Amino acid sequence: MPSPEQVVEDYLGHLAVERGRAQNTLRSYRLDLDRYTEHLASAGRSDIAAVREADVSAFVTALRTGERPLAASSTARALAAVRGLHRFAVREGIVPADVAAAVAPPSLPSRLPKALSVDQVDQLLAGCVSDGPIGLRDRALLELLYSTGARISEIVGADLDDLDPDARTILLHGKGNKQRIVPVGRPALAAVDAYRVRARPDLATRGAGSPALLLNARGARLSRQSAWHVLRGAAEASGLEQAVVASVSPHTLRHCFATHLLSGGADVRVVQELLGHSSVATTQVYTHVTVDTLREVYATAHPRARG
């Protein structure tokens, strides 16, 4: 029987070649599975067939209670990688039974996404006022993020040809190489048009002809880290309250997009498609946000709500 390390290599190869998983996903899986194989080695499990359910459970416990305990969400992610590994081993006929199937992840705290109000988003976007190439690019970036609900990685990964100004849409390349076409609002189109005409040609001359829609100061594709710094910088320059600025994250405008759509009456399944969620359950967390808003309005407006 092969060792756990050998099965991990085969599994990651399967994810890369047959499932088309993104490099970032593969790196996360490798990190978690390397932790797992180290745990098995310390328990004397040199053969994948020798692993038992108790070993998997002990791994979860060790992640939560070790010298550097992981959060419940990080532990759940690691367990998902381990369960995928053992399902793969069963499918490939390496072992007869899935010893990880019954191991439950730690319960996750119910955390609602933090969304800014429409006025706060307007104030945030107004933080980009420079007419220079970088300022025009930054405004295009932020307008696109809010208009489409895209992940930062999807916007910086978009090429010039992915944007269709006539159809007012953009082709986004999501997780697992899944593609979706998303509408783009007029303010975002105007910001992108200003960037394409007045800024991108200048930035493009500094590089080697990148097809990317959004370029950095060297004419190469803008990175996710740089895009996040743009968002954070706009928040800090916007004049928003410090507590609001501190809450801004890479997903802030994506959360605002979903919350504002649902608050405006959009169907949750339409929002699911726009966000690129594989399950409507992932999108439904935003319905709790709008229910909270409705409850606040009810409490202040209905004559029988008080008392």
Active site residues: 151, 175, 251, 254, 277, 286
Give the up-direction half-sphere exposure of residue 32: CA atoms within 13 A in the CB hemisphere. 24
CB 122 within 8 A of CB 81: no
Q: Could you give the CA distance from residue 278 to residue 256 in angstroms, rounded to a whole number? A: 19
Nearest to 140, CA basis, from 167, 120, 119, 160: 160
Q: Could you give the CA distance from residue 62 to residue 154 in angstroms, rounded to a whole number? A: 35
Q: Is 15 exposed, middle or buried (0-12, 13-18, 19+ CB in 10 A)?
A: buried
Q: Is 148 exposed, middle or buried (0-12, 13-18, 19+ CB in 10 A)?
A: buried
CB 245 within 8 A of CB 266: no
Euclidean distance between the first and the last CA atom of the chain, given in angstroms as a whole number: 69
Tokens standing for 153? 């990685």
